[in-house]
Amino acid sequence: MAVAVSLGVLLALGVAALGLLHGSGGSHQQEAARESSTPDPRAGNGPLALPPVDAPEADSSACAEVLEELPAELDVRGTGVARRELARPAPPGTLAWGDAEHAPITLRCGITAPAELTRTSELMNVSGVDWLPISSGGTTSWIAVDRPVYVALTASEEIGSGPVQEISETLRGTLAKQEVFP
């Protein structure tokens, strides 16, 4: 009798242990599936949320012209990266590009003059447009400072010069050049 009870208990424990092990593995698989289907806004899966910034000229006709002329894709080291949907409500004067392989590249038109822009600021001229690069935490914001409205292009430092070049060409063809410090 003791042997029969012991075998029954061992069998029950064995079945319970297998159930726990199998249930745990299934749980990890379900968790991994859930994580892979969750949109990652940095990786281009789903709309990108952009916080509002002070952009008093975002609704201007100059920004409307720029946004209309911007390319559907940007060249990131030889790869075309398409426009990225923005989460609603999107701040006025904004666009983004990005996909699963590329971190977002954002553009804001009509922002206020950056505090870093002084008469001694080191500007970079790219295709006839003067940019003020401001780097912080692995990203660079390139601010076009010689047009009627300030335009900021923000991206990972690894994007290369392609997007800045393309945006410069759009700005040069859309907005008249003006003095940085009139």
Per-residue pLDDT, 35:
35
pLDDT band at 13 (very low <50, low <70, confident <90, very high): very low
Per-residue pLDDT, 181:
86
In this predicted model, what pLDDT tens digit does every residue of 109-119 receive, in sequence order?
A: 999 999 999 99
Q: Average pLDDT in the 119-145 region?
A: 95
In this predicted model, what pLDDT tens digit does every residue of 151-168 receive, in sequence order?
A: 999 999 888 788 999 999
Distances from the Cα of 156 to the Cα of 29, 121, 138, 139, 141, angstroms? 32, 22, 6, 4, 9
Per-residue pLDDT, 157:
83
Per-residue pLDDT, 139:
92
Tell me what the pLDDT averaged over the chain comes to: 80
Q: How far apart are CA 182 and CA 13, in angstroms?
A: 84
11 vs 70: which has the higher pLDDT: 70
Q: Average pLDDT in the 141-151 region?
A: 97
The number of angstroms, rounded, from the C-alpha of 173 to the middle of its chain's C-alpha atoms is 25
Taking the whole predicted model, whether its pTM rises above 0.85 is answered as: no
Query: Do residues 106 and 50 touch, judged by C-beta distance below 8 A?
Result: yes
In this predicted model, what pLDDT tens digit does every residue of 21-67 receive, in sequence order?
A: 333 343 333 333 333 333 334 555 689 999 989 999 999 999 999 99
